[in-house]
Every structure is written in C-alpha cells, then in structure tokens.
C-alpha cells in the first residue's frame, strides 16, 4: 500500500544498543518506558508474592524479622505506583500521542530522553536501600512522619533517605514528561487536528499532564521538607519540636489523590481507543467523555482529605461530598463505554477482552470506593484490608488491565508483528481469575477487621481461609505473566506480520507503517473528525469540500451503510 513510508537514505549511524541508549525518538523512548516499567512490575510482583506468602497462614515467618516484611510491602507499593503504573502509562502515551496527533516527535525530544533516563536511576536508588544498614524504606508507600523521621524507633537508616531522593527524581521525570506532553499536544497537532478531533487517548494524556504538572511539585515539596527534617535538624513534621505530622499528610495527599487519576485516566484513554475499534462504532458521547475527563481532573484536587477522615483534622462533610461527586463524571464514562459496546459488531480480540476486564473490575473498584467515601463506613474500614481491596480493584483491575489492553493493541504498531491471540487469552483468563481470587477476599478480610501492614495474625481471628485464597490468587497472577512473556518472545521472532492497520483503526497511528519511520509520517490523511482513518476508508473525508470524487460518493456510501457504522464520527 502507498502508506508504507519509504525509508530515506539514513546517514551512517551507530546501530544497536548505542542507538537505543542515545535515542531521542519518542517511539523508541516510549518502548523503553514500557520495557523498564515491565521490569519494575516483575520486581514489585516478587515483593507482592513475598508479602502474600508471609500472610498465607498464621504463624508463617519467611523473613528473618518483621522489619523485612515492612520493607517488602513498602517497596512493593512504591515500585508498582511510581515505577510501574505511572511510567507504563506515560510510556504508552509517549509512543502513541505524537502518532495520534500526526506529529513527527514530542516537542522536546531530548527532554523526553532525560525524563526516561531518570526512571531507572530513581528505581536503582530506591532498591539500593536494601544494601544499606537498616534496609530499605519500611514505612509504607505513604511514608507518614513521625514514623519516617530519623530516630532509633522510627527510621534511622539511609533507606528512607534513598526513598525520598528516588521519589524526587521520579517526580521530576514526571513533571518534565507532563510539560512535554502538554506542549506537544497544544503545539504539534497536524493541520485539521482540532482539539475536539483529538483521540480520547490524547485527551486523557492532556488532563493527566495537567494533573502531573500541578500536583507532582507539591509532593516534591513535602519530600524535601521530610528530607530536611531527617538530615538537617528541621522540625516541619516533628510535633515535639513545634511541627505538625498532619501537615505532611495534607501535602502528601494533595499530590497523591490526583496521582490516582494520573494512574487511571490514561488507561481510560486506552480502552476508549480499543472499544470503538473492536465494536466497529464511534465512541458513544465523545464530547461528554472529554468533559467528564476534565471534570475528574478538576474534582481530583478537592478530595485529598478523604484519605485523612480519621485524623479528626479535616472537614468531613466537604471532602465526603466532593468524593461522592467525583463518581458522577466517572459514571458518565461507564455509560460512554457500555453504550459503545451496545449493539456493536464485537471482535473478541485480546485488547477488547482486557478492556472489558477493565470495565467490570473498575466498576467494582468504583463501587467499593463509594463505600469508603461515606464517613461512618470509612471510620470502620480505615486501614483495613477493605482499603487494600479497593485500591487494587482500581489500580490493578483498572489501570493494569487497561495498560495490557494497550500493549496488545499497539504491539503490532511498535514491532510490526502481531501478538498471539491464543496466548493473550490464556494470559487474560489466568490474570482475571487470579486477580479476583487475590483481591475479592480482601473485602471480607477488611470487614472482619484485618488491618493492613501486619506480618502475622492470630489463627482464631477468622482470617485464615480468605488469606490463603488471596495468596493462591497472587501466585496465579504471577503465573499469568508467563504466557505474556512467552507471547512477546515468540511473536517478536515469528509473529504474524501486522501490516499498517491490522485492527482497522480509527486514529492516525494506523496511517503509517508498522513500525513507523523515525519521522512518523510521509503523508497524512485529511482530518475531518476524530476518526480520520475511518473517514479515509469510507470516502467521507472529502465530504466537507476540497473537491475530489468523494463529494459525490460520500452520501451514497452513507446510504449503503456498510459495517453498521454510524456515519461521520462527530455524530456522537
């Protein structure tokens, strides 16, 4: 096909590993983000398995002491949040956004490379904590003072300092990435790509980047204050020296609640690309979805204190109300997705299955979240396994299923080869069962009063069965990763050749070759709606004028109504 971009004569350059280490190409950087994040996913997963093994039955002691257990769950959460979910979604965005808006690269390609390379550095600093006396950070991913202040009974060792420095580095990487995304989206769009013709994925990355740029510096300020407290005799968070421990929680959650949306909005964007393609319909309510995304982003800044209900230091009615309110735009999105599927011509491919996994699991995570938003219930469930269940249904059931949908969806574009559908479905089934077996019992454990972050429990507390089920589920999740790795491994060598557009996609990345040339596009189809490739396939692009044969053909095509499609994309 003519869309195959011809490779120009490339001047002599050093290939192989040197090219990857020095690249400023957003696609290569995006792929490195994905690989790096996946490696940290494996590391975080090992810590999760250690935690689950410890809790499988009462009395088990697999660690030399319980402090190592504390290190394990702290590093598990930190790695999964800051080195897996956030950068994995940023990586998918890095790969997809310039392609989707018809740009040759990000606005600042070298800053983009800098953003990426801070991540492995930050991750190494974090994990180096295990080699220091006293071990890695062990105060949970929230690292509340005064537990994290320096002191013989709190956090004496350098592990906590390494945690702080690592998070500042990773945060700076996020901020630079967010700025890069925003300038790219505002300034680098192809002719015709108005804001309201951008793919939903680009919109969610846009809102996410606003959250990153506005919220991440705030946690940086909390971290530097904690660092000053620990190392230079400061007294920000030390009550005995005139500071306030709650102050840290306020500043921390002012970032970390919007961070929840940083972790889920791009995954919502991914499935909003996948669902229309595999149900052969435009997204139901394109603009409603965008306004809902912006609404979630705005409301996200006004709900942080619902993490602090039991401190007695926050205005409960306000934060409870705002938290319930944020369910409204999220509910709008559920309607968008469900009605996109409704009466669609579904192709049950792996990306679609993972997206439906997102829909169902995220729905549970939203509903049990609404329970926690209610102040009296939260007082009962605060710091129990209910909260662990909720956050995993949102972050794993939501974000992780969404990002696997994205990986299966864009793997052909990244590599030029298809992933194997059979192995993909085995991956999904194992992961879906394992996920629910791990995290659904945690609801029961929470209601039965099991606190988070404990290394052992009494055998007569009534928690044994659910804990064993959760541990078995955890190993099932680990097993589900094996077919995925095998799939990637064999597909890179022998996978079906993808071609430019294996899914009959709607968005611009499918208009160039797979993998795309370094500069992305030789030519772009005309952009008249949020589905330029659909328009090009069905001759609707010329409908808006510009002459050409499309002028007469377009109405006829509409009447023929092939594929049950619903006409121009802006009909939503």
What residues numbered 259-288 form the site for another protein, per CB under 8 A? none
Among 71-79, 148-156, 174-182, 196-204, the segment contacting another protein (CB under 8 A): 174-182
Cα separation, 204 vs 289, in Å, equals 10
DSSP 132: S
Told to check if 100 binds another protein by CB under 8 A, we report no
What residues numbered 338-357 form the site for another protein, per CB under 8 A? none
Cα separation, 262 vs 296, in Å, equals 11
**Residue with structure tokens 């093994």?**
53
Q: What are phi and psi of 384, to 5 degrees?
A: -105, 180
Cα separation, 330 vs 335, in Å, equals 9
Q: Tell me the closest approach of the beta carbon of residue 504 to another protein, in angstroms.
A: 5
What residues numbered 541-570 form the site for another protein, per CB under 8 A? 541-542, 546, 548-550, 553, 562-563
CA-CA-CA-CA dihedral for 541, 546, 547, 553, to nearest 10: 20
Contact criterion met (CB below 8 Å) for 391 and 430 = no
Among 33-41, 180-188, 317-325, 396-404, the segment contacting another protein (CB under 8 A): 180-188
Told to check if 540 binds another protein by CB under 8 A, we report yes
Site for another protein (CB under 8 A): which residue of 66, 421, 456, 522? 522
Beta strands in 151-223 (DSSP E): none
Told to check if 11 binds another protein by CB under 8 A, we report no
Among 158-166, 395-403, 472-480, 515-523, the segment contacting another protein (CB under 8 A): 515-523
DSSP 398: I
Told to check if 240 binds another protein by CB under 8 A, we report no
Site for another protein (CB under 8 A): which residue of 59, 232, 312, 556? 232
Among 89-97, 181-189, 292-300, 387-395, the segment contacting another protein (CB under 8 A): 181-189
- Find residue 451's DSSP bridge partners: 384
- Give Cβ neighbours of residue 521 (< 8 Å, ≥ 6 apart): 5, 102, 104, 190, 508, 511, 512
Site for another protein (CB under 8 A): which residue of 524, 558, 566, 567? 524
Q: What are phi and psi of 491, to 5 degrees?
A: -70, -30
Residue 171: both structure tokens together: 């945060």
Told to check if 521 binds another protein by CB under 8 A, we report yes
CA-CA-CA-CA dihedral for 60, 64, 70, 76, to nearest 10: -90
Told to check if 104 binds another protein by CB under 8 A, we report yes
Cα separation, 391 vs 442, in Å, equals 11
Q: Using alpha carbons, select from 445, 268, 270, 489 the residue that is nearest to residue 363.
A: 268
Cα separation, 430 vs 480, in Å, equals 5
Told to check if 213 binds another protein by CB under 8 A, we report yes
Site for another protein (CB under 8 A): which residue of 43, 83, 99, 251? 251
Among 52-60, 366-374, 421-429, 531-539, the segment contacting another protein (CB under 8 A): 531-539
Nearer residue to another protein within complex by CB, 189 or 443 = 189
- Find residue 384's DSSP bridge partners: 451
Site for another protein (CB under 8 A): which residue of 46, 114, 147, 179? 179
Size of the residue set binding another protein (CB under 8 A): 77
Told to check if 332 binds another protein by CB under 8 A, we report no
Contact criterion met (CB below 8 Å) for 508 and 102 = yes
HSE, side-chain direction, 13 A CA sphere, residue 5: 21
Among 199-207, 231-239, 356-364, 367-375, the segment contacting another protein (CB under 8 A): 231-239
Q: Tell me the closest approach of the beta carbon of residue 300 to another protein, in angstroms.
A: 14
Told to check if 533 binds another protein by CB under 8 A, we report yes
Site for another protein (CB under 8 A): which residue of 58, 192, 344, 462? 192
Q: Is 16 left (phi over 0), alpha (psi -120 to 50) or beta?
A: left
Told to check if 535 binds another protein by CB under 8 A, we report yes
Q: Tell me the closest approach of the beta carbon of residue 549 to another protein, in angstroms.
A: 5
Told to check if 24 binds another protein by CB under 8 A, we report no
Q: Tell me the closest approach of the beta carbon of residue 565 to another protein, in angstroms.
A: 10
Site for another protein (CB under 8 A): which residue of 103, 206, 470, 476? 103
Site for another protein (CB under 8 A): which residue of 451, 504, 515, 570? 504
């Amino acid at each position: 096909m003519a869309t195959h971009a011809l490779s120009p004569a490339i001047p002599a350059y050093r290939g192989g590993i040197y090219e990857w280490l020095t690249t400023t190409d957003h696609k290569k950087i995006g792929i490195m983000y994905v690989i790096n994040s996946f490696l940290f996913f494996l590391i975080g997963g090992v810590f999760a398995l250690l935690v689950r093994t410890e809790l499988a039955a009462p009395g088990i002691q697999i660690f030399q002491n319980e402090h190592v257990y504390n290190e394990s769950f702290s590093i598990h959460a930190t790695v999964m949040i800051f080195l897996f979910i956030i950068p994995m979604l940023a990586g998918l965005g890095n790969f997809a956004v310039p392609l989707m808006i018809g740009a040759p690269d990000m606005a600042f390609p070298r800053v983009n490379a800098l953003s990426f390379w801070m991540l492995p550095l930050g991750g190494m600093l974090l994990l180096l904590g295990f080699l220091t006396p006293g071990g890695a950070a062990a105060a949970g991913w929230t690292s509340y003072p005064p537990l994290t202040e320096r002191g013989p009974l709190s956090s004496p060792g350098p592990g906590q300092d390494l945690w702080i420095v690592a998070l500042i580095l990773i945060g700076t990487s996020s901020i630079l990435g967010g700025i890069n995304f925003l300038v790219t989206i505002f300034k680098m769009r192809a002719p015709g790509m108005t804001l309201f013709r951008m793919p939903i994925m680009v919109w969610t990355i846009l809102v996410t980047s606003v959250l990153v740029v506005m919220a991440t510096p705030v946690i940086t300020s909390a971290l530097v204050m904690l660092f000053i407290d620990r190392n230079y005799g400061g007294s920000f968070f030390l009550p005995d020296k005139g500071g306030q421990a709650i102050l840290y929680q306020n500043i921390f959650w002012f970032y970390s609640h919007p961070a929840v949306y940083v972790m889920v909005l791009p995954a919502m964007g991914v499935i909003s690309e996948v669902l229309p393609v595999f149900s052969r319909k435009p997204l139901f309510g394109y603009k409603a979805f965008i306004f809902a995304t912006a609404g979630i982003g705005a409301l996200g800044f006004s709900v942080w204190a619902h993490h602090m209900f039991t401190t007695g230091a926050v205005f409960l009615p306000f934060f409870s109300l705002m938290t319930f309110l944020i369910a409204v735009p999220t509910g709008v999105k559920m309607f968008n997705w469900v009605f996109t599927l409704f009466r669609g011509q579904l192709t049950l491919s792996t990306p679609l299955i993972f997206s439906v996994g997102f829909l169902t699991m995220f729905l549970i995570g939203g509903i049990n979240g609404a329970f926690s938003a209610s102040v009296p219930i939260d007082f009962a469930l605060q710091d129990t396994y209910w909260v662990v269940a909720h956050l995993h249904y949102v972050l794993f059931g939501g974000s992780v299923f969404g990002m696997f949908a994205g990986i299966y969806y864009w793997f052909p574009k990244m590599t030029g080869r298809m992933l194997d559908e059979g192995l993909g479905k085995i991956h999904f089934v194992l992961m879906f069962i394992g996920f629910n077996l791990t995290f659904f019992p945690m609801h029961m454990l929470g209601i039965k009063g099991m606190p988070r972050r404990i290394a052992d429990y009494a055998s007569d507390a009534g928690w044994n069965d659910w804990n064993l089920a959760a541990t078995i589920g955890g190993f099932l999740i680990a097993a589900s990763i094996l077919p995925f790795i095998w799939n990637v491994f064999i597909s890179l060598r022998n996978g079906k050749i993808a071609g430019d557009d294996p899914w009959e996609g709607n968005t611009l990345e499918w208009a160039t070759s797979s993998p795309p040339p370094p500069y992305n596009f030789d030519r772009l189809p005309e952009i008249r709606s949020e589905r330029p490739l659909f328009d090009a396939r069905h001759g609707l692009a010329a409908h808006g004028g510009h002459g050409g044969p499309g002028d007469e053909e377009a109405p006829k095509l509409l009447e023929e109504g092939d594929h049950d499609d619903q006409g121009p994309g802006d009909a939503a």
